[in-house]
Amino acid sequence: MSEPMIRLLAELPRADPDSARAERTRIRCRTRLAGLPRASTSSAPSPRGRKAQLWQPLIAVLGVAYLAAAIVQALRAYGIP
């Protein structure tokens, strides 16, 4: 760095934390966290969870089938029976 730049940086005021702002932020965060709905302890899966349970295996099966077809085509392209 050049000497003038170092002098300019030395003249900058210190960045001290603002305790009032920190306290306002803490209060705002606590208020938001207190207003969040609690997770239910119900053992029954939600309707969205059921859909995910049905789609995930289907996607996995389709992915394996696609991979198998790609390997078969690659082997045919190289002439390996």
Which residue stretches of 1-81 are H helix? 3-11, 19-35, 47-77
Is 26 part of a structural domain of the chain?
no
Is 52 part of a structural domain of the chain?
yes
- Whether the full predicted model's pTM is greater than 0.75, yes or no, is no
CB-side neighbour CA atoms (13 Å) of 59: 6
pLDDT digits (tens, 9 = 90+) for 4-44: 999 999 998 888 888 899 999 999 999 999 988 876 555 55
How far, in Å, CA of 81 to CA of 77, rounded? 10
Is 16 part of a structural domain of the chain?
no
Closest listed residue to residue 72, CA positions, set 60, 80, 63, 61: 80
Q: H or E segment at 78?
A: none
Give me the pLDDT at residue 27, please: 94
User: 57 lies in which domain range?
Assistant: 46-81
